[in-house]
Amino acid sequence: MSAARTLITVAPTGAETAKAAVPALPVTLDELVETGQACEAAGAALIHVHVRDDHARPTLDLARLRDTVEALREATTLLVQLSTGGAVTDPFDDRLRVLDAEPDSCSLTCGTVNFGDDVFQNPWPFMAELYQRTQAQQVVPEFELFDLGHVAALHRLLDSYGAPYGGQIHCDLVMGVPGGMPGTAQALVAAVAALPQGASWSATGIGRTTLPVALAALSAGGHLRVGMEDTVTFAKGRPVTDNAQLVRRAAELAALAQRPPMSTDDARALLRVKNRRTAAVAGRP
């Protein structure tokens, strides 16, 4: 059954694009907070976060992650999801430690995948450890599915270790990565048909598959993820100006599909995240 409203996730930064190549990419804490505010105003309810160091290089530094979660909670009502994928070079231990920053949600990729010329490593023991830590640390996982085989691995996780924290199984189909499933309506329908009963899902089309995947997701009743992590081109020959531009377009498509963007309160209810806001915003004047 399709949801009445659309969850829009923004993935503003990622780990792959260089700031020098794309100056509009938000990489500092101030840029990220400003981006979060603009994207929330444009219709996003969840932010998928990768942080960068002082040289704009991807990092999983725990203090930075904590500061980022706190700053986003103070300046926005967005649900904050930290990437546990990081960059392809990040060690497993650093990726597991991300949960210590106490995000609302975290990404959890359900298998190893070729990633352009690189390999994004997610062997079973790592996935299983990360999943059990999400349960213990009360963080809602978002299962990232780059391929149909990842859906099978998701079933194995659930069969082996039970339901995720909060009880809602929420997935994101990451489509069009060179090495993963293509960003086509046919692949999307096949993946959705294989999802666990009752799962909610969004879809992400990388690069030029952004629009076809968004349209296919809306017509199949899914939610949307957009952002400069996934594409830096708005249309042929037109670079993305900022993340809010992509969120606005997603919100317009969702409204056209008669499923306008959901509020952050609705997103909290859908994903059943732990309420960590009371403590974070208590210090506000």
Residues at the site binding Zn ion, with contacts judged by CB under 5 A: 83
Binding mask 123-162 for ligand KMH (x = CB under 6 A): ---------------------x------------------
In the complex, minimum distance from the CB of residue 1 to ligand KMH, in angstroms, rounded to a whole number:
28
Contact pattern from residue 34 through residue 73 relative to ligand KMH, giving x for each residue in contact according to CB under 6 A and a dash for the rest: ----------------------------------------
Q: Which does 67 bind (CB under 5 to 8 A by kind): Zn ion, ligand KMH, none?
A: none
Q: Which residue is nearest to Zn ion (CB)?
A: 83
Task: Kindly indicate which of the ranges 8-16, 153-161, 232-240, 263-271 contains the residues binding ligand KMH, using the contact rule CB under 6 A.
Answer: 8-16
The residues near 238 (Cβ < 8 Å, ≥ 6 apart) are: none
Q: CB 161 → ligand KMH: shortest distance, Å?
A: 19
- Work out whether 231 is an interface residue with ligand KMH (CB under 6 A): no
∠ CA 186-187-193, nearest 5°, is 90
Binding map of ligand KMH across residues 180-199, x = CB under 6 A, - = no contact: --------------------
Residue 213 binds to ligand KMH (criterion: CB under 6 A): no
Shortest Cβ distance from residue 213 to ligand KMH (Å)? 16
Q: Is 84 in the site for ligand KMH (CB under 6 A)?
A: yes
Query: What does the binding site for ligand KMH look like in residue numbers (CB under 6 A)?
Result: 14-16, 83-85, 87-88, 107, 109, 115, 120, 144
